[in-house]
Structure 1
Amino acid sequence: MSDKKQKAFQFVDAHRDEMVSLWEEVVSMESGPHEKQGINKVADRFKEILDKEGAASRLVEFEKAGSMLIAEIGERKAQPGVIFVGHMDTACPAGAIKERPFTIKDGIAYGPGVLDMKGGIVSAIYAIKALKAAGYDSRSLKVLLAGDEEVLHAHSNAPDIFIEEAKGYAAAFNVETGFVDNGIVVGRKGVARIMMEVKGVAAHAGNDPENGRSAILEMAHKIIAVQKLTDWDKGISFNVGVIQGGTTSTAVPDYAKIYIDVRYKNPDDLPDIIKQIEDVASKVYVEGTSATVTFMDGIKPMKTTDGVMQLFEIVKKAYEENGFGTPYAKKVGGGSDSAYTVLAGVPTVCAMGVKGGRNHSPEEYAIVDSLFERAKLMVDCVLKLDTL
């Protein structure tokens, strides 16, 4: 074991209680998808910690979204730097922390956002602190934390900031939810959220039904047509997840709305996906109705590039050398901001955060020991970059 690696690992081991304490502190900060003040509070806390490590940091503020934290430790070197990526918002509703406070039982931590993804951010911060304590100065270390990932950056330009801030870096580690089966994510589908609205003609359901034009009936035809667009061979799936319409059973409804979730592998497929939905909207099943389509928001796919796979091999080597198990390259349907670091030309691996399961649910949990293991894993990956 190299001297720097040994010192960094010793630092992590010596600060286990401190890491868990910070984990509990930030999980206890309410930062659900619409809790802007809470997200900003988390951002302020992480900024405070990184500033004490000598980081040049700043917060990018948005009117309707939580702040984004950008921090860099160390001056730019001849060798390009390393990025740690994450998000500070959770998918938990307001009040979740009161119902499910941070708790550890039998080596498992529970609480809103404990896995997705406050634990991963704590691991990344302590990997940076450990590297610094060990005297590492070969590359600058950058942190990019979004405040609105769970709502697909609907009210910010965070994707553009990710791409701009990542350009020219050697590698990125996204501390998204880690998997208990040791899968390391090398590819993710993109997510597109699209709204379709139908306007019809209202009428009394008893006295004047023949003059009504049901928006719900029209939408029912369109929902079936949208679902049939799914193409498993291309890895494109369509899901109508929300439907709204009508006011009372005694009236022919003059309005209906659906939200469509689309998952896709190739960034170039998005224009055609939107056109397919627009074609469904343009076909009229109930005469006298009309439909419109609005692209709401989304996250681009994380492409599996040669650079991504080369970085995965470094992770695999570090994993096995340190007795953490044997990881495998995993591709998943959920989106993440790794898409944007890859689009910036930066090799990226995702799901490097603490391991656990049931995120986005009241049963969310994380394995406590993985908090320390993942910090050490990232330390060794950064050190191994210098041996290539």
Structure 2
Amino acid sequence: MKSYLEAELTNMLQTLETFVNQDSGSYDKEDIDEYGIMIKNAFESIGMIEEEHESLNRGNHRYFSFPEATPSILLLLHMDTVFKSGTVKERPFRIEGDVAYGPGVVDMKGSHVSSLYAIKALIEEGSSDVLQHVGILFTSDEEIGATSSKELIQSYAKDKRAVLVMEPARKDGSFVTARRGGGRFTMDVQGKAAHAGINPEEGRSAIEELAHKTIALHQLSNLEAGISVNVGVIEGGSTVNTVAEHARAFIDVRISTLEQGPQMTEAIEALSEQSELEGTKVMVSGDLTRPPMERTEKTEELFQLIQQTGEQIGVQVTEVATGGSSDASFTSVMDVATIDGMGPVGGGAHSSDEYLEIPSLVERTHLLAATIKQLSNSRVETV
């Protein structure tokens, strides 16, 4: 398989260029659906059939499998990027030496190419029996919480032998076997407006109250336990000479265990039950949207299988836990064997410097194809 992929590297890079040079920002349904058609054409060209799942406000989700297949392995990918429409025109795909650049090049359009060519490599090898085990799901809203795709992900993951999440590998090539979960909350404070010079005593500053709450929120963090709370954005007030009538905070919460979720939700909601500044009112909305991906026995078993597969083809396989979240959380919480970070190696995700290391495209695609083949002949416990 490796020799086939090495010979196909130029075509892989041309495909990557085509994919990267199509905008597919999370909030731009038209762009994502146009990109989805490109994905559809690519996978249908190798004999897979599509099940399209329409989404009213987000891009349509797409699932691919071979005719009459009974997939036991799910490849999980997302089509959306964090970049708004028009970004590609400003800085299109480019190659400098052994590095490819462009919006979404590693998070995760490189993985789209890797998934496509892993299947092509298995076809080239004549592994038709293996291909009957594979299903591939592309979602459109991973970067914004997967609100329209969570249930779909879990429906396709149910009873699967393994879920391979195609997020990019870490910079050192490591796979991800644990991720923190998290969510977003909004805290609104209602105060009372007054003139800051004439009658400030009659006002009740929402900003002052929110300042107290911001400190209290940050004190909920417990880094040793893997809990972090961050007030990332604050807004409020109307004019500099007016006691602020309203203020709002946007809060990011990260947790490491499933049990921490209700505890943190309760703690944040408790802060709204009383005010430090008399005459103000505090309201909280939001929730934890992703459970943590905890390292389970099934995760360990799947990782060991991939590690052994890597040894057989000369690819070193290591693991790491990360604070970021992904759709892997939705499948691992079902007790389905899940490994994340199966994609190519790169860095700078979500930035103008996002890059993919070109040599890793062949290496990780080879490992993906070999892992699929090994899984189709091995047993990893199902739910």
The alignment's TM-score, normalised by the length of structure 2, stands at: 0.94
Partners in 1 of 2:54 and 2:243 — Cα distance? 45
Q: Are 2:231 and 2:252, in contact at CA under 8 Å, matched by a contact in 1?
A: yes
Match of 2:136 among 143, 161, 174: 143
Match of 1:159 among 147, 150, 154: 150
Superposed CA offset, 1:315-357 (max 9, x none) = 2122232222x22221100001111222333211111111011
Gaps of 5+ in 2: none
The aligned counterpart of 2:8 is: 15
Length, aligned pairs only: 376
Matched, 1:128 2:129: no
Q: Are 2:74 and 2:135, in contact at CA under 8 Å, matched by a contact in 1?
A: yes
Trace 1:57-76 onto structure 2 (pairs within 5 A): 57-76=50-69
Secondary structure, aligned partner of 1:162? helix
Partners in 1 of 2:61 and 2:332 — Cα distance? 19
Superposed CA offset, 1:145-166 (max 9, x none) = 1101111124x1x111111111
The aligned counterpart of 2:212 is: 221
The aligned counterpart of 1:382 is: 372
Superposed CA offset, 1:9-62 (max 9, x none) = 343233222211111111111112222211111211111222222223122122
The aligned counterpart of 1:4 is: none
Q: Which moved more, 1:22-31 or 1:51-60?
A: 51-60
Q: Are 1:108 and 1:368, in contact at CA under 8 Å, matched by a contact in 2?
A: yes
1:144 deviates by: 1.0
1:258 deviates by: 0.7
Secondary structure, aligned partner of 2:36? helix
Superposed CA offset, 1:258-317 (max 9, x none) = 111111112232222111001112221111110111115622211211111111112212
Matched, 1:367 2:360: no
Matched, 1:184 2:172: no
Give the AA of the match of 1:220. A
Match of 2:159 among 168, 172, 179: 168
The aligned counterpart of 1:342 is: 332
Q: Identity over the aligned pairs, expressed in percent? A: 35
Pairwise CA RMSD of aligned residues? Answer: 1.6
Superposed CA offset, 1:193-236 (max 9, x none) = 11111111111111121111100000000000000001123211
Matched, 1:263 2:218: no
The aligned counterpart of 1:285 is: 276
Q: Are 1:189 and 1:332, in contact at CA under 8 Å, matched by a contact in 2?
A: yes
Q: Are 2:291 and 2:333, in contact at CA under 8 Å, matched by a contact in 1?
A: no
| Runs of 4+ off more than 4 Å | none
The aligned counterpart of 1:3 is: none
Q: Are 2:265 and 2:288, in contact at CA under 8 Å, matched by a contact in 1?
A: no
Partners in 1 of 2:336 and 2:124 — Cα distance? 26
Give the AA of the match of 1:98. K
Partners in 1 of 2:146 and 2:235 — Cα distance? 24
The aligned counterpart of 1:24 is: 17
1:74 deviates by: 4.9
Superposed CA offset, 1:229-254 (max 9, x none) = 01123211101101110111011111
Gaps of 5+ in 1: 1-7
The aligned counterpart of 2:196 is: 205
Give the AA of the match of 1:72. S
1:86 deviates by: 1.1
Match of 2:225 among 234, 237, 254: 234
In structure 2, do the counterparts of structure 1 residues 160 and 387 end up closer, same or farther at CA, with 3 Å as the change threshold? closer
In structure 2, do the counterparts of structure 1 residues 74 and 169 end up closer, same or farther at CA, with 3 Å as the change threshold? farther
Q: Are 2:176 and 2:341, in contact at CA under 8 Å, matched by a contact in 1?
A: yes
Give the AA of the match of 2:26. P
Partners in 1 of 2:67 and 2:332 — Cα distance? 23
Match of 1:44 among 27, 37, 45: 37
Give the AA of the match of 1:191. G
Secondary structure, aligned partner of 2:346? strand
The aligned counterpart of 1:83 is: 74
Partners in 2 of 1:72 and 1:345 — Cα distance? 23
Give the AA of the match of 1:370. S
Superposed CA offset, 1:55-92 (max 9, x none) = 23122122221221111125345xx6211111111122
Q: Are 1:177 and 1:353, in contact at CA under 8 Å, matched by a contact in 2?
A: yes
Secondary structure, aligned partner of 1:195? strand
